[in-house]
Structure 1
Amino acid sequence: MPKDLWNQVKVEADLAPGHVTIVEVRPPWNGTGDPTRRSIARLRWTNSRKEWSLYWRDRNGRFHLYDRIDAPPTCSTCSTTGTARTRPSGAEQTVRTSGSGAGIG
């Protein structure tokens, strides 16, 4: 995401048993009230195969398997309990699992 939008758009992760929902958070358009939260993708854990699957969200709020990749994405540093660390754009970010919604910071 371009740096000039960092103060306008945040990406958060909502954690639940078996999946992580990636959420876009924007400030209220009129400056008052609660931020707007919109699910944009979901990672689902399949325990029998020990792998994550990536799903995209359509305009009706339904998730569909993202099948435009050659191999399923894997996350060797992720854990279903605790903290997952990623390095998007060269910067380390941590997905926190505390509270009802997790943040990326």
Structure 2
Amino acid sequence: MEHTQKLIHKIINLTPLSTAYEHTPKGKRQLECYVKNTCGITAKHLARIYRVRQARQLIKANPQLSLAQLALECGFSDQSHLNNEFNAILQIPPAKYKKLIQQ
């Protein structure tokens, strides 16, 4: 359980999953099972949610930030990756979300 909490903490801090797995003495599959049992979703999905959550918070804090810069700051590979993940999880594209925040 302690290792699962450490993994979840690293995910919350937007640590890449591969790095988070390296910092625990448990095996990757064992940790994935613990996260699934603890959270009800996979570690990968949890990491996606937290990355999108961070992007949403940055948009609120700084709506003038470009989507490309936002993608880099939140650990997405590029703006397209940000768009796809944001839309999949929040059901709204980040550009439209920015417009709603600015109104």
Same fold (TM over 0.5): no
TM band (smaller chain):
under 0.3
Alignment TM-score, normalising by the size of structure 2: 0.26
Greater percentage in helix: 2
Alignment TM-score, normalising by the size of structure 1: 0.25
